[in-house]
Amino acid sequence: MTYEETKSPAGSAAQVHSLHDMLDPARGAALQVALGLPPSIAQGAELPPFFHQLYFWTPLPPEALGRDGHPGLSKTGLIPDLGLPRRMWAGGRLRFERPLRAGMSAEKRSVVESSERKLGRSGPLGFVTLRHEIWQQGALSLSEWHDLVYREDPTPAAPKPVPPRAPLDEEVARQVSFSSTLLFRYSALTFNGHRIHYDLDYARDTEGYAGLVVHGPLLAQQLMLLAEELLGPLAEFSFRATSPLMHFEEATLCYRDGALWVRAPDGRQCMQAQAVPKAE
């Protein structure tokens, strides 16, 4: 990993983190198998959208990790420490310029685009937006904006947030399930050590969830694959998490007129998204 100084969009100095990786076809094929898809990724093949999440690991020794299994904020050199222990991937946006190809090297350039702390109804909140660019063969392949939210530990007296209700007017509906095995495999393939996805006691007793939490990126991945199946190659995709989904809940992936969402069994909306296909 290398570090460079660049200018943020506002013109102030910002540190760019640069990571280089070989996009191993076997890793992409392993995710296809984990998702129940035929393993079609080979040397030189185009990677499906969002499969870049499998690459550009930043492994750190155990003493450099926080209590939740993520790298400690003071150790990463990228994400600022806002003094809040709970981390959530709140959403993101992607712009696809050209396909990434397996078996070839690529570079990921990351910068903190914004960072702020606010007081919400449930207490203090921290908002961080990261901007990533992935380059391959000297050309920009995709740009990504990655929205993180940090918050305090839950207290028993705190009111539970009321999740939005999911629409019922989808044109396409697909049932999906997320076993603890799938969550473990996705964590392993993305080198995501966040304990809410595999440590049930931690997820329940420390962070207050009813079960293991399905990764937000895994939900987004399923929606992107559905969008590509229905619309063809994607030009843009955006998503926002609205309620966590537990590993014991079967979800419904929904699509209508370019909009996508994830509906839980009780009708709450877990994620909403928008897909834009490439122009013909």
Angstrom distance (rounded) from CA 102 to CA 106: 10
Q: How confident is residue 162, by pLDDT bands cut at 50, 70 and 90?
A: confident
pLDDT band at 72 (very low <50, low <70, confident <90, very high): low
The whole-number pLDDT of residue 13 equals: 54
Instruction: Answer whether 227's CB lies under 8 Å from 275's CB.
Output: yes
What does the pLDDT average to over 238-264? 97
Tens of pLDDT, residue by residue over 189-247, are 999 999 999 999 999 998 889 999 999 999 999 999 999 999 999 999 999 999 999 99
Q: How far apart are CA 9 and CA 84, in angstroms?
A: 26
Hey, which CATH number is domain 2-277, 3.10.129.10, 3.90.380.10, 2.60.15.10, 2.40.50.140?
Answer: 3.10.129.10
- Calculated CA dihedral for residues 28, 34, 37, 41, nearest 10 degrees: 10
Q: Which residues contact 280 (CB under 8 A, 6 or more apart)?
A: none
Residue 130 · residue 111 · CB < 8 Å: yes
pLDDT of residue 9: 43
Residue 10 has pLDDT above 50, yes or no: no
Whole-structure pTM over 0.85, yes or no? yes
Q: Tokens in use for 146?
A: 């990655």
Q: How confident is the model at residue 5 (pLDDT cuts 50, 70, 90)?
A: very low
H helix intervals, the chain: 25-34, 73-76, 180-190, 200-201, 216-231
pLDDT, tens digit, 9 for 90 and up, residues 25-44: 999 999 999 999 999 999 99
Q: Is the pLDDT of residue 161 over 60?
A: yes
CA distance 19 to 58: 9
* Distance from C-alpha of 15 to C-alpha of 86, rounded to nearest angstrom: 24
